[in-house]
Amino acid sequence: MTTTFSARGAAPETARPYIEQFDRLQGELPGAGLAWLAELRRQGRDRFAEIGFPTVRNETWKYTNLRALDKLSFEPASPTPRAGIDTLPTVRPAGAQGPRLVFIDGRFHAELSSTAGLPEGVELLSLADALRTKPDFVAEHLGRLAQPDDLPLVALNTAFLTDGPLLHVPQGVAVEQPVEIVHVTLAGDRPSAVHPRTLIVAGTGARVTVVEHHVGFGTGADLANHVAEVFVADEATVRHYKVQREGTESFHFSHAAATVGTNGHYDNFILTTGARLSRNEVRSTLAGTDSSTHVSGAYMVRGGQHCDTSTFIDHAQPNGTSREVYKGAIDDTARAVFQGKILVRPGAQKTDGYQINRALLLSDNAEIDSKPELEIYADDVKCSHGATIGELDEDALFYMRARGIEKDQARSLLIGAFLAEAIEEIADETVREAFQEIASGWMASR
């Protein structure tokens, strides 16, 4: 097959292998026979061919360099068997059952999944299945919030999107149990890439909690490029929590785009401990009056890890409320990045926006770049932002050691107390306790 590139010019060198892969494999992707999906994928392919991977010349990627990707040749992951995976992560008590979808190397595994406990009318299925059984519903939502225009990794995901979870909670339905989505990557000898797409649609007055687990097995390199689109209708509530524990040589990218209707609420929390290089982007648009969003997280990195958190809160209507609380612990030679922007559009009066990022540097070589930003075009608003960076309180450490607590234990207790303020932002008690346990495990392994 002859590979062609955009009329704007030749593709960047970093993009060429992926464009050639797409041109070779596009007919094998799920839903390949759907004209609207083929066009959407083509748009993603063409846009990525134009711009390739982002560079530090792009202001929003100024602090995260992707040159390490140039040295690796990622091929689309092949369907993978269960491969002896006996234990999967969960936030439920031991032995408890509940709704869960499992994806291994980007492909749905029905034998490990369950829809048990879902109320009548709630749909939980893989995107590949939905493209066969309800393509009109998928067409109505796919690509509406996460568009590839100036987002290279979203463009790449759009071209190669293969599978992922689709959750539809109809009007007035409350899902009491957390819905768990498990993404497993099995890094082997050959670098592989997956591009899952998540669709969450909550109807008017609906309520649901979604917990994503991202875990890696193996020591090889892999690329996980996730995109989520979350539709929160009027009066609805979606709590969207995620823990990322990918392998030590993994590259993890995610982009979550949410729109929130009148009196709706979107809650997002991300706990990051894994991956060689990770970037989590969260974009929430308060599209209805009196809507709210709460995006928070905790990141714990060490060794040579690089963790980037970028948020964008768009107050498009009056009386919107947003709250951001991010806290991180950075050890060894690790580096973290926080970029948070709040936009208040003209007419979005009575907006209340709050943003804070606090970080602990646990070694002399640890580093963080923090860039909070406000852009306000309305005059009757209350918005604040801030960033603090520091070390452990030596007086508190001395106080604890003077009372017989060993130095390492005292340091862990202080770090745990620092991070707990962010984890307390999680509204669901079961999830909060599970995430706190993961954070405690990270500190115990230092």
CA distance 185 to 20: 23
**Cα–Cα distance for residue pair 268/282, rounded to 1 Å:** 8
Distance CA 196, CA 226 (A): 5
Contact 51, 154 (CB under 8 A): no
CA 329 to chain centre: 19
* Cα–Cα–Cα angle for 406, 410, 414, rounded to 5 degrees: 175
Report d(CA 165, CA 296) in Å as an integer: 23
* Residue 82, pLDDT score: 57
Phi-psi region for residue 434, left (φ > 0), alpha (ψ -120 to 50) or beta?
alpha
Q: Do 201 and 144 meet the contact criterion of CB atoms below 8 Å apart?
A: no
What does R_g of the chain's alpha carbons equal in angstroms?
21
Angle at 160 between CA 159 and CA 163, to 5 degrees: 130
Amino acid 407: pLDDT? 81
On the 0-12 / 13-18 / 19+ scale of CB atoms within 10 A, 401 is middle
Given a contact cutoff of 8 angstroms between Cβ atoms, the answer to whether 203 and 236 are in contact is yes
What is the pLDDT, as a whole number, of residue 107? 93
What per-residue confidence (pLDDT) applies to 334?
98
174-177 long-range contacts (CB < 8 A, ≥24 apart) are 174/119, 174/206, 174/207, 174/208, 175/99, 175/118, 175/119, 175/122, 175/206, 175/207, 175/208, 175/209, 177/98, 177/99, 177/117, 177/209
Q: Could you read off the pLDDT tens digit of each residue along the chain, which spans 446 residues?
A: 444 444 344 457 889 999 999 999 999 999 999 999 999 999 999 999 999 999 999 999 999 999 999 888 898 887 766 555 768 899 998 888 899 999 999 999 999 999 999 999 999 999 999 999 999 999 999 999 998 888 999 999 999 999 999 999 999 999 999 999 999 998 777 889 999 999 999 999 999 999 999 999 877 899 999 999 999 999 999 999 999 999 999 999 999 999 999 999 999 999 999 999 999 999 999 999 999 999 999 999 999 999 999 999 999 999 999 999 999 999 999 999 999 999 999 999 999 999 999 999 999 999 999 999 999 999 999 999 999 998 887 778 777 888 888 888 888 888 888 999 999 999 999 999 999 999 999 988 87
Q: What is the pTM of this model?
A: 0.94
Domain coordinates in residue numbering, the chain = 16-288
**Is the distance from CB of 247 to CB of 275 less than 8 angstroms?**
yes
Which among 168, 160, 94, 189 has a CA at the least distance from the CA of 126? 168
User: Within 13 Å, how many C-alpha atoms sit on residue 295's CB side?
Assistant: 26
Angstrom distances, CA of residue 7 to CA of 11, 48, 187: 10, 13, 36
Q: Return d(Cα 23, Cα 26) in angstroms, integer.
A: 6
Beta bridge partners of 383: 353
- Extract the tokens encoding 398: 């001395």
